[in-house]
């Protein structure tokens, strides 16, 4: 039961991360593209629109990188997780063995 709740929580966290990643990528690109296009029409210069798109891409990459870096900093590797689970199982088995001795 506990493992199922933990697995569901991990899945939910992964879905939230994917949603956050896509929002961090799409919003800056669209916003900078709209502003660049508006300025390009106002000043009659197409270079501003291309600059807006490039700035949006750079901002999207920066935001996505920061969010993924923050998420992965707290994660343990699969090997670390396996060792932790083995230690927990060993401690649980040892505690149960001591209870049955009495």
What's the pLDDT tens digit per position in 20-48?
888 888 999 999 999 999 999 999 988 89
Range of the domain at 58: 2-76
Q: How many distinct structural domains can be found in the chain?
A: 1
Q: Say how far apart CA 94 and CA 100 lie, in whole Å.
A: 10
Helix (H) / strand (E) element for 92: namely helix 78-101
Residue 97 lies in a domain: no
User: Which residues lie closer than 8 Å to 25 by C-beta, 6 or more apart?
Assistant: 60, 61, 63, 64
3-state class (DSSP) for residue 70: helix
Q: Say how far apart CA 66 and CA 38 lie, in whole Å.
A: 29
What phi and psi, each to the nearest 5 degrees, are found at residue 77? -70, 160
Residue 42 lies in a domain: yes
* pTM of the full structure: 0.58
Tell me the pLDDT tens digit for each residue of 64-95: 888 777 767 666 677 777 788 888 887 777 66
Residue 35 lies in a domain: yes
């Amino acid at each position: 039961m506990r493992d199922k709740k933990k697995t569901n929580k991990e899945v939910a966290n992964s879905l939230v991360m994917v949603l956050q990643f896509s929002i961090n990528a799409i919003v800056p690109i669209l916003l900078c593209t709209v502003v660049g296009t508006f300025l390009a029409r106002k000043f009659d210069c197409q270079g501003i629109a291309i600059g807006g798109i490039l700035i949006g891409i750079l901002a999207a990459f920066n935001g996505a990188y920061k969010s993924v870096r923050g998420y992965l900093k707290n994660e343990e590797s699969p090997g670390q997780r396996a060792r932790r689970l083995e230690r927990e199982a060993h401690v649980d088995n040892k505690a149960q063995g001591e209870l049955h001795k009495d």
